[in-house]
């Protein structure tokens, strides 16, 4: 039985969130004391550039970005049929895999339930967040495709 469940949410890709809903709800239904920790990670600017995105001369408001991300996370969580008193929301910045692994360790997660894209040649060559999580997590990981 899993008591502490970590669910990373990519707020920029709602289709991935839809993939994990039934799996998270099933785990919560098996344990009346389970807590679900939802996390979204805002990548840092250099991380965006490593994905091939261009630099912008315009500085962004970090606080506004964080509040918007938290709002989008809150909206995504509404799709889950889980009592509010069993939900915790988290926001991190940096590389997604690092934020996920760090929070998993700090909350002593029993399982991480993460959605993943179908593999392509780019993920075989470069790796993916889900692959890194599976490789380095100190708890069970359920990857949903």
Percentage of the chain surpassing pLDDT 70? 83
pLDDT tens digits, residue range 119-144? 665 555 445 888 999 999 999 999 99
- Reading the block at residue 118, the tokens are 């179908």
Domains delineated in the chain: 4-144 (3.40.50.620)
Query: What mean pLDDT, rounded, does the chain reach?
Result: 87
Sign of the alpha-carbon dihedral angle for 64, 70, 72, 74: negative
The secondary structure of 18-58 as a DSSP string is HHHHHHHHHHHHT-TT-EEEEEEEE--HHHHHHTTPPP-SS
pLDDT tens digits, residue range 36-62? 999 999 987 554 444 444 455 555 678
Between vectors from CA 72 to CA 124 and to CA 120, what angle results, nearest 5°?
10
Task: Write the CA distances from 57 to 40, 46, 52, 144, 145, integer angstroms.
Answer: 25, 13, 16, 38, 37
Helix 129-136, helix 96-106: angle, nearest 10? 30
Total Cβ atoms within 10 A of residue 34: 19
């Amino acid at each position: 039985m899993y008591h502490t469940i970590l669910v990373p949410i990519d707020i920029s890709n709602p289709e991935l969130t839809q993939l994990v809903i039934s799996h998270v709800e099933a785990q919560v239904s098996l344990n009346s004391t389970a807590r679900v920790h939802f996390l979204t990670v805002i990548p840092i600017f250099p991380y965006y550039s490593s994905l091939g995105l261009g630099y912008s001369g315009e500085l962004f408001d970090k606080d506004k970005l964080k509040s918007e991300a938290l709002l989008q996370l809150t909206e995504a969580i509404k799709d889950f049929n889980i009592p509010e008193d069993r939900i915790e929301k988290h926001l991190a910045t940096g590389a997604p895999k690092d934020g996920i692994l760090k929070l998993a360790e700090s909350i002593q997660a029993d399982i991480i339930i993460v959605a993943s894209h179908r593999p392509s040649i780019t993920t075989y060559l470069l790796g993916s967040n889900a692959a890194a999580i599976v490789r380095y997590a100190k708890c069970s990981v359920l990857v949903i495709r």
